[in-house]
Structure formats: structure tokens, C-alpha cells
């Protein structure tokens, strides 16, 4: 780690900033930016190979950071960055120890009867990250995202997912209608006007659970391809739950059924 960069006009740093800020740049190049040691660690745990790792010069002295850097594959270039430079690149209130450019993991075709989440046009990065975190915790590992979803490998979604991305198989830009039509298990959409309570459903076999956009919900096309519209009973006075809470409730009702 000889290089120390202190100028934000450095070409490597400019590339990093472009990837942080520009969704098209990230998607076209099939890359993502990992912020902080926790995410880098989670990526290394699943054998991803970062192309470039930028380390804050202060953090480079810390033993936990050094231990993590020692785990980097030889193909990863490591660059030290002067204090204050990260603040110009990320939107975080406190600058992370490391920023890493890393190729996105590629999802392979799952087993036909693997349970799965289908996410249609989810817009809020925090919601999407939370949904991924719940899916990872509940062990529903196949996640399909429509083209209209926010970039699932954006820095914000990665932060909010807290490493869940790397426990999942994430299928970006999926044709949800085709996926749902081809799925042989039980197909459920969450729907405010659903006539059937979630709690009457058998979720113990292979399921595809469809969740829709924060404002407009699941599209009619996907609703018509599903077996059942489920409603989460709300005895209280709230207008609705947000999509991340709804996903969490459904995913953990499945956990309950599988355990009881």
C-alpha cells in the first residue's frame, strides 16, 4: 500500500465518486461501492474480489482494519487516502474506514422450488435494504427485482441491508411476470384490499411472495398471475404498514409455520 492519494482530482478517486453518485455508471459497469469494514468483510466472506480498496489514512493504523486488509485477494489494489478526502466522495455524516469498488455478485438460476421474493418497483432505499435483511434472516434467499426498483447495489441500499446482500441471490432487472408464471409453488401477493388473511395461509411449502411499489402496490398484471391476495390484519388505527414491515411480517409468519 505505497500510494497515498490526497487530491480529489485523482483518476481513481474520480471513478470511485462516479460509482457512488451515478446509478447508470454502477449498473453499466456491473459494479458497486462498499462503504465501511462491515460490508467489505461480508463481501470477502462470500469470496467477492474487490478491484480497488481505498483506505482512510487514519483507519489504516487500526488493527481491525489491518486484519481485514490482510484478507484481500492479491488481485485487489489497495490505496491509502488522506484524511478528509472521503468526505468529498460519500454522503455519510462520518467518513468510513474503507471504500471498496467491487463487481456485483451474479445470481445463478435457483432450484425450481426455492421460495422467493418478487419486488416490484420498490423505490425507497431504506425499505429495500430492510426487506433484504428480513429475507436473509428468514432464509428466503432468492430475490427478484423489477427494472423499476431503485438500484439494489446502491450505497444506501447496501448500508441499510447491512450485509444481507451477500447472503442472498439477487436477480436484478427481472421480468417478474415471466418468473411468477413459471414458478410452480404457491404464489401470494400482499394487497391492502386482499380478502384473505395472511394468517390463514399455508406458507410451509415453496412460495413466491410478491411485494409492490410504496405508492401503487402490486400491479394488476402480477396480481392476476398470483394464487391469492393476502391482507395483513390490522386491528388498530393505522392506515397501512410500509412495504418493509409487510414483507417482514409475511417472511416471519413463514418462519413460524416452519418451526411450529
Which residues here bind a second copy, judged by CB under 8 A?
A: 126, 130, 133-141, 162-164, 167, 197, 199, 232-242, 244-245, 248-249, 252-253, 255-256, 258-260
Q: How far is the CB of 189 from a second copy (least distance, A)?
A: 18
Residue closer to a second copy by CB (options 140, 211) is 140
What sign does the dihedral 73-76-82-88 (CA atoms) show? negative
Q: How far is the CB of 224 from a second copy (least distance, A)?
A: 27
* Cβ-proximal residues to 50 (8 Å cutoff; 6+ apart), any chain: 34, 40, 43, 44, 72, 73, 76, 100, 101, 102
Residue closer to a second copy by CB (options 16, 96) is 96
Residue closer to a second copy by CB (options 115, 146) is 115
* Cβ-proximal residues to 178 (8 Å cutoff; 6+ apart), any chain: none
Residue closer to a second copy by CB (options 47, 75) is 47
Q: How far is the CB of 45 from a second copy (least distance, A)?
A: 10
Q: How far is the CB of 12 from a second copy (least distance, A)?
A: 31
Instruction: Evaluate whether 56 touches 83 at the Cβ level (below 8 Å).
Output: yes
Q: What angle do CA 59, 63, 69 make, to 5 degrees?
A: 75
Nearest to 121 by CA among 211, 244, 19: 211
Q: How far is the CB of 220 from a second copy (least distance, A)?
A: 25
Nearest to 119 by CA among 219, 204, 205: 219
Element (H, E) at 244: helix 243-259
Q: How far is the CB of 91 from a second copy (least distance, A)?
A: 13
Residue closer to a second copy by CB (options 193, 260) is 260
* Cβ-proximal residues to 228 (8 Å cutoff; 6+ apart), any chain: 186, 187, 188, 189, 194, 196, 201
Residue closer to a second copy by CB (options 72, 199) is 199
Amino acid at each position: 500500500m505505497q500510494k497515498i492519494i490526497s487530491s480529489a482530482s485523482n483518476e481513481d478517486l474520480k471513478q470511485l465518486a462516479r460509482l457512488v453518485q451515478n446509478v447508470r455508471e454502477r449498473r453499466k459497469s456491473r459494479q458497486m461501492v462498499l462503504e465501511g469494514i462491515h460490508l467489505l468483510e461480508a463481501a470477502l466472506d462470500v469470496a467477492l474480489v474487490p478491484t480497488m480498496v481505498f483506505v482512510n489514512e487514519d483507519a489504516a493504523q487500526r488493527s481491525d482494519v489491518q486484519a481485514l486488509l490482510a484478507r484481500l485477494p492479491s488481485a485487489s489494489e489497495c490505496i491509502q487516502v488522506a484524511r478528509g478526502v472521503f468526505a468529498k466522495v460519500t454522503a455519510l455524516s462520518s467518513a468510513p474506514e474503507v471504500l471498496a469498488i467491487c463487481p456485483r455478485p451474479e445470481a445463478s438460476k435457483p432450484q425450481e422450488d426455492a421460495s422467493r421474493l418478487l419486488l416490484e418497483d420498490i423505490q425507497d432505499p431504506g425499505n429495500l435494504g430492510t426487506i433484504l435483511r428480513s429475507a436473509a434472516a428468514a432464509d428466503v434467499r432468492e430475490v427478484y427485482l423489477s427494472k423499476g426498483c431503485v438500484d439494489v447495489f446502491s450505497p444506501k441500499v447496501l448500508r441499510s441491508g447491512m450485509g444481507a446482500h451477500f447472503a442472498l441471490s439477487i436477480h436484478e432487472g427481472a421480468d417478474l411476470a415471466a418468473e411468477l408464471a413459471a414458478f410452480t409453488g404457491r404464489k401470494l401477493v400482499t394487497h391492502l384490499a386482499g380478502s384473505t388473511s395472511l394468517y390463514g395461509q399455508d406458507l410451509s411449502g415453496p412460495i413466491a411472495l410478491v411485494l409492490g411499489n410504496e405508492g401503487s402496490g402490486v400491479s394488476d398484471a402480477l396480481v392476476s398471475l398470483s394464487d391469492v391476495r393476502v391482507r395483513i390484519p390490522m386491528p388498530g388505527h393505522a392506515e397501512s404498514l410500509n412495504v418493509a414491515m409487510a414483507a417482514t411480517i409475511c417472511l416471519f409468519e413463514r418462519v413460524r409455520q416452519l418451526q411450529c
